[in-house]
Copies of this chain bind each other. A is one copy, B any other.
Amino acid sequence: MKGRIQTDPIDVSYPFKDSNLNIGSIVTFRGIVRDTESSRALRHLFYDADEGLASEEINKVLEEAVSRYKLIDAIAVHRIGVVKPGETSLFVAVGSTHRKEGFEACSYIVDSIKERLPIWKKDHFVDGTESWH
């Protein structure tokens, strides 16, 4: 289990390298920056964060989810800094015995990350204007 906050691009390839042969379901989520926001063309997003606290909190969220949904493994990576349209800002992967708890846990982890991590995003529009969410 591993939660990470990073400025580097996120590797979304096969997440559980040491394959645990009891995993029957892997559910993943990727949040991707779109090229429009409120119908305006977006150049990129900028994510500000309290990295230390965000890193602690993302791991707390994973621990809670693993225990609550009896997961075999779970990973979550949130990118910060500049993220361009088409790039992944959040990646979550959940390995479980069956799929039902996999879908529920993945959705729970994404919601919790968006509600609880001290991370904020700023729209940088193509027209040069900016605004914090």
Whose C-beta in chain B lies nearest to the C-beta of A102? B29
**B34–A86 contact, CB under 8 A?**
no
Cβ contact of A32, chosen from B26, B35, B85, cutoff 8 A? B26
Q: Can you offer 24 A-B residue contacts whose CB atoms are under 8 A?
A: A12-B14, A19-B86, A21-B34, A21-B86, A22-B34, A22-B35, A22-B36, A23-B32, A23-B34, A24-B31, A25-B29, A25-B31, A25-B32, A26-B30, A26-B32, A27-B28, A27-B106, A29-B99, A29-B103, A31-B99, A34-B97, A99-B107, A103-B106, A103-B107
Q: What is A's interface to B at a CB cutoff of 8 Å? A: 12-14, 19, 21-36, 85-86, 97, 99, 102-103, 106-107, 110
